[in-house]
Structure formats: structure tokens, C-alpha cells
Amino acid sequence: MNKKFSKEIFIGISVLIALVALFFGINYLKGINVFKAANYYYASYTNVSGLTVSSPITVNGFKVGLVREIQYEYDNPGHILVELSLDKQLRIPYGTKAILKTDVLGTATIELAMNDTTAYHEIGDKIMGSTPAGLMDNISDDILPSVANIIPKIDSLLSTVNALISDPAIANSVRRLDNITANLEASSSQLSKMMSTMTPTMENVNKISQNLNGITANLNDITTELNNTPIDSAMNNIYQITKNAKEMTNKLNSKDSSLGLMLNDTQLYNNLNNAVGSLDSLLIDVKKNPKRYISIKLL
């Protein structure tokens, strides 16, 4: 009898330990530390989409607690009561808002917007809950009306585009572009052939360039030789010859020299002219009367 009673006690204790371990394990998985002291507050929302038990509660991005429980307020239809488990050291000023925020992935968190006051809520008080407009609400309220206003303009734009596309001038322009493209391809082919035929010409140009380089080298040699030529002495000789010619010219023009007198004295010219005339008359007379001047004696 005692052994049977001892087994029942052992089974009961084992079940109790298992239930306690299950309780602590479930809370641990939820992120709830049952051994950590916490204060409890409440906030009411009309929509808690994305919010779950153990969702974090933050202040300026720092985690100060988590959601302990979510339940429907049957005495306040349309509202959901959320129990907030906050650090015991955290004091909540009056006017603080518990803002429920949802990210792009749909995960909700609660952020406490602390009010700057020295009056604080009592533990268990209800904090003002706030749900800002979500991403989809902004789309519905702001973007969709703008899209609705743009749609008629898009329809008008599409009608204009269709009219342009159906215009025969566009088709003719496309055909012209096709012709231009074909001509460009033909020109490109001819240019390629021309470039292939220009290879010998470029070789000749290279040879001419080499010849020009040789001519340039020869010109450089000639220039070097001219630089080495005593040009100064040659110029001095030319200057001396020019000076002597000038002196001779001056003497010819001067009446102080014999040549100058012969060239510049008119009387001498007249005498010479008279002498030539007399000589001419003498020769004429000699031709007419040779016996007067020539006597031939026979032995």
C-alpha cells in the first residue's frame, strides 16, 4: 500500500515538474523571462494586425519590454486590449503614447513616445494607444487618387502614340531608314575594298617618306657645309671688288684722269671727229688720184 502511494506521489511530482518546465519553456520561447520583475500596463487599439504575443516594445529603438497578452475588449466593441510587460525600472509619464508600428514585412512593434512630464502612470494603468497610417493606407489615401488623375492623361497619351504609329509618314520614314542603312552597308563594303587596295599605295608612301628622309639628311649636310664655309672672307672680297669698281667708275666720270678727259672732253671728241673726217677725205682722194700720192719708177 505504501509502495503504491509512493509511486502515485512520484508520478504526480513528475507531472508537476513537467508542467512547470513546459510553462517556463513556452514563456522562454515567447521571449518572456518569468524570473525578471516587470510592471504591467495596458493599451487599446482598433487594429493590431501583425502584433503578436512577445512582440517587442521599444523606446527610441531600445527594447524595454514585450507584449504579454492580447485580448478582445467585449465591453468596448471594436477595440483590442494589449497587455504591456515593461522593465520594472521604467516609469511611464502621463501623456505617453503606445504607438503600434508595422514594417514592410507586416511585423508589428510598439514604440513608446514618452511625454515630458514629472507625473507618472500607476502600474496597471491604461496608456493611450495610437495606430499611425500604414503603408497601404498611405497608398490608398495619397497615391491612388494621384494615379486616378493620371490615368486619363495616360489614355490620351496612348491615343496620340497610336495615331502617330498609324501615320503613313512614319512607315515611309522607316523605309527610308532601311534604304539608308542598306546604302551605308554598301558604302562600308566599298570602303573596306578601297582600304585593301590602298595597302600598296601606303607602301609607296612609306618609300617616298624614306626618300624624303634621305633628302632631308643631304640638306642637313649641305647646311653644315655652308655653315663651315668662310662666308665672311668671301663677302669681304666681294665688298673689295665692289669698292674698286666704284673707284674706277668715279675716275671715268672725273675730268682729272686721262680716261675721264677722253670720255668727258667735248673738244677732244670734236678733234677726233674732224681727224676722222679728214682721214676719210684723204682716202677718197687717194682712190681718185693714186698717182698723185704713189709714184712708180721703172729701172
What is the tens place of the pLDDT at every residue in 109-138? 999 999 988 899 998 899 999 887 655 555
Q: What is the DSSP string of 4-67?
A: HHHHHHHHHHHHHHHHHHHHHHHHHHHT--TTS-EEEEEEEES--TT--TT-EEEETTEEEEEE
Q: Name the domain boundary from 112, 132, 152.
A: 132
Q: Is residue 20 part of a domain?
A: yes
Percent pLDDT > 90 in the chain is 15
* Predicted TM-score (pTM) of this structure: 0.39
Q: For residue 250, what are the domain limits?
A: 230-265
Same domain, 26 and 61: no
User: Is the domain of 81 the same as that of 108?
Assistant: yes
- What percentage of the chain carries pLDDT values higher than 70? 75
For residue 297, being part of any structural domain is answered with no
Specify the pLDDT at position 298.
46
Closest CA to 80 of 116, 55, 117: 55
Residue 158 has pLDDT above 70, yes or no: yes
Query: What is the number of domains present in the chain?
Result: 4
Same domain? 193 vs 106:
no
pLDDT band at 178 (very low <50, low <70, confident <90, very high): confident
Between 259 and 92, whose confidence is greater? 92
Q: Is residue 256 part of a domain?
A: yes
Examine the domain organization and report whether 103 and 69 are in the same domain.
yes
Whether residue 250 lies inside any domain: the answer is yes
Evaluate whether residue 64 is within a structural domain: yes
In a domain, residue 247? The reply is: yes
DSSP E strands in the chain: the ranges are 38-45, 56-59, 62-72, 80-87, 97-102, 108-113, 126-130
